[in-house]
A and B are shown apart, each in its own frame.
Chain A
Amino acid sequence: MKKVDNIIDSIAVLGILLMFYRFFITFLQIENIWKLSILVTIAFLVILLISRFENIKSKIIMSFKKNRSLTYFIGLLLFLSLPFSLRQSSYWIFILTICWLWIIIAQGINIQFGSAGIINLGAAFFWGIGGYTTAILASRYNFNPLIGIFLGGIMAILAGLPLIIPILKARGHYLALVTLSVVVAFGHFANNIKWLGGSQGIMNIPSVSIGGYNFLNSIKIFNFELPPISNYFYFATLLGILVLFVCHRMSNSWVGLTLNSINENKGDIICSNCMGINRARWVVISFSIGNFFIGIAGAFFAHMNCYVAPQDMTFYKSLLYLSAVILGGMDNIMGVTIGAILIVILPEKFKVLQEYWIIIFMSSIVLMIILRPQGLLAAKIRNYGIKRQ
Chain B
Amino acid sequence: MEINEEILINLKGLTMKFGELKAVNNVDININKNEIVGLIGPNGAGKTTIFNCITGLYPSYEGSIYLDGEDIKGKNPWEIRRKGITRTFQTSRIIPNLSVYDNAFIGSLAEKRGPLFSAIFNRYKFNKELEKEINKVNGFFEIFNKDLINKGFTAASEISQIDTRRLEVVRALMMEAKLLLLDEPTAGLTMEESKEFIGDIYKIKEKFPELGTIIIEHDMEVIKGATKRVIVLNYGEKITEGSFEEISKNDEVKEAYLGQ
Contacts and interface: CB of A to CB of B under 8 A. Distances in A.
Contacts of A278: 76, 78, 110
B50 to A, nearest CB: 15
B9 to A, nearest CB: 16
Contacts of B107: 275
Given A266-B97, A277-B106, 13 more contacts: A253-B126, A257-B106, A260-B98, A271-B89, A271-B95, A273-B76, A273-B77, A276-B82, A285-B116, A381-B99, A381-B153, A381-B154, A383-B99
Interface string B102-118: 10011101111001101
B78 A261 contact: no
Interface in A233-263: 246, 249-250, 252-258, 260-261
A91 interface: no
Nearest to B99: A381
A181 B98 CA distance: 34
Interface residues of B, number: 38
Q: DSSP class of B's interface residues: helix, strand, loop or mixed?
A: helix
Interface in B122-165: 123, 126, 129-130, 153-155
B82 A254 contact: no
A276 B111 contact: yes
30 contacts: A249-B120, A250-B116, A253-B115, A253-B119, A254-B105, A254-B109, A254-B119, A255-B115, A255-B119, A257-B105, A257-B106, A261-B106, A261-B109, A266-B97, A267-B98, A268-B95, A271-B89, A271-B106, A274-B55, A274-B77, A274-B81, A275-B175, A276-B78, A276-B109, A277-B106, A277-B110, A381-B155, A382-B102, A383-B153, A386-B153
Contacts of B120: 246, 249-250
Given A253-B115, A253-B119, A276-B175, A258 B93 contact: no
Interface in A345-389: 379, 381-384, 386, 388
B171 interface: yes
A333 B36 CA distance: 46
Interface of B: 55, 57, 76-78, 81-82, 86-87, 89, 93, 95, 97-99, 102, 105-107, 109-112, 115-116, 118-120, 123, 126, 129-130, 153-155, 171-172, 175
Contacts of B118: 253
Nearest to B97: A266
